[in-house]
Structure 1
Amino acid sequence: MKKIISFVLLVIGFAGNAQSNLPQSATDIAPLLIGEKIPNSTLKLIDGNAVSLKSVLDKKRTILVFYRGGWCPYCNLHLAALGEAEKELLDLGYQIVAVSPDAPKNLKVTEEKDKVNYLLLSDSNGDLAKAMGIAFQAPLLYKPVIAKGSDGVNNNFLPVPSVFIVNLDGEIEFEHITPDYKHRISNELLVAAAQSLKN
């Protein structure tokens, strides 16, 4: 009996550590670096169907964007701004893919509200954000809003807003990571980076 109790306590300890292994704040993250490969992950489309990230990245060079959720006004401004740069980026041979912890049904709300034409994907359990090294422990005041946004799946992490330019081999060629969620990469800088990498 003691062995069983010890084992249960050990498992609970590991589970607690797994959650606390997330960086404490946005400035403590250790993101993947230029030259490293984007890890494959199964995400969800707006219709709730699963999709392999690799199958998406294999199609075209990609502007891969991570945002906090459709509840974040700064994220909505950024998504709308990306929409304005989309034609230029498409003409350069890129696709835009934006990932958040939002549940598929909330991606649909964001798509309609921000008039987004590019692909939105759901990473509610945070597997991809954590593998990318950009997830951190959400402050307590955010927990209700992220739980609602993810339809109850996520109540402990936020992704640091990030933009990666990824080649057809899934390698990171450029990254812009902003622990201060109020500041995002400008379209001018993003398009300039995309143009320089294409040449």
Structure 2
Amino acid sequence: MNETTSPPVSLAAQLRQTQADFLSTVPVDIQEVLAAASASLAQSHLEQYTLGVGAVAPDFCLPNVDGKSVCLRDALAKGPVVISFYRGGWCPYCNLELRALQQHYSEISALGTTLLAISPQLPDRSRAVTEEDPLSFEILSDVGDVVARKFGLVYSVPETVRPIYQQWGIDLPTWNGDDTWELPMPATFVLDHAGTVRGAFVQMDYTQRMEPADIVAILRTLRNGNDWHF
């Protein structure tokens, strides 16, 4: 008797399930506050100001969990680069994304690509993420959202949401080392070896992320077009 294996569950499906599980435990009044805040942010259309396909990514150097400086220009010298901006280790949707990227890391790496994940949290907080879920790629700390701002990703957490976050133990000033309550919109950028954006996914809705399979597909297209050298 032949055994059949189930197809891998997409990141989108995992995110939807996580959101459904979360909402099932949240009181209706808090859900309403969160929904209103999300709707207000969506109406701001911040996505239109972000770095798009065809733009050249700004260079940067950020510390990894060991305090070592990692520079985009050095990564680009080796080939394409994938940059994933995420909110922090306190965000379950972000953690799902990081795990999904890890699952596809061998494919991404085999295509000569460097993967960088960036959040505004302090290096020690980022280290905790890697200790809980060992990752093969660099986790960088963008304290103050300096780099995220260059990519046009920064927004301020609405004041109505801040006490809810604190009630849940999410104290962003402690996580990020400042009191701005600013976060990056979740975003993924696929860069060719020249630093040009060849694929971009930016979402004001933090429950949405780019599928790792789509990242791999873009990288394969670049390779097949001889768009870089190894």
Query: Whole-Å Cα distance in 1 between the matches of residues 61 and 149 of structure 2?
Result: 13
Find out whether 1:194 has 2:219 as its counterpart: yes
Query: Whole-Å Cα distance in 1 between the matches of residues 222 and 155 of structure 2?
Result: 30
- Residues 101 and 154, structure 1, Cα contact 8 Å, conserved in 2: no
Corresponding letter in the other structure for 1:25: L
- Please report the TM-score for the alignment, with normalisation by the length of structure 1: 0.80
Q: 1:83-102, aligned counterparts within 5 Å?
A: 83-102=102-121
Query: Whole-Å Cα distance in 2 between the matches of residues 192 and 135 of structure 1?
Result: 28
- Residues 75 and 114, structure 2, Cα contact 8 Å, conserved in 1: no
Query: Whole-Å Cα distance in 1 between the matches of residues 71 and 112 of structure 2?
Result: 21
- Residues 54 and 196, structure 2, Cα contact 8 Å, conserved in 1: yes
Query: Whole-Å Cα distance in 2 between the matches of residues 54 and 148 of structure 1?
Result: 31
| SS in structure 2 of the partner of residue 126 of structure 1 | helix
Provide the residue aligned with 1:21 in structure 2: none
Q: 1:43-192, aligned counterparts within 5 Å?
A: 43-140=62-159, 141=162, 142=165, 145-150=171-176, 152-153=177-178, 155-192=180-217
Listed as ranges, the gaps of 5+ residues in structure 2 are: 1-39, 225-230
- The share of aligned pairs that are identical, in percent, is 31
C-alpha displacement of 1:95: 1.6
Query: Whole-Å Cα distance in 2 between the matches of residues 78 and 71 of structure 1?
Result: 13
Corresponding letter in the other structure for 2:204: P
| 1:70-128 deviation digits (Å, cap 9, x = unpaired) | 11000000000000000011111112110100111111111111221101111011111
Query: Whole-Å Cα distance in 2 between the matches of residues 54 and 65 of structure 1?
Result: 16
Find out whether 1:25 has 2:41 as its counterpart: yes
| SS in structure 2 of the partner of residue 175 of structure 1 | strand
C-alpha displacement of 1:146: 2.0
* Number of residue pairs the alignment of both structures matches: 175
C-alpha displacement of 1:154: 5.3
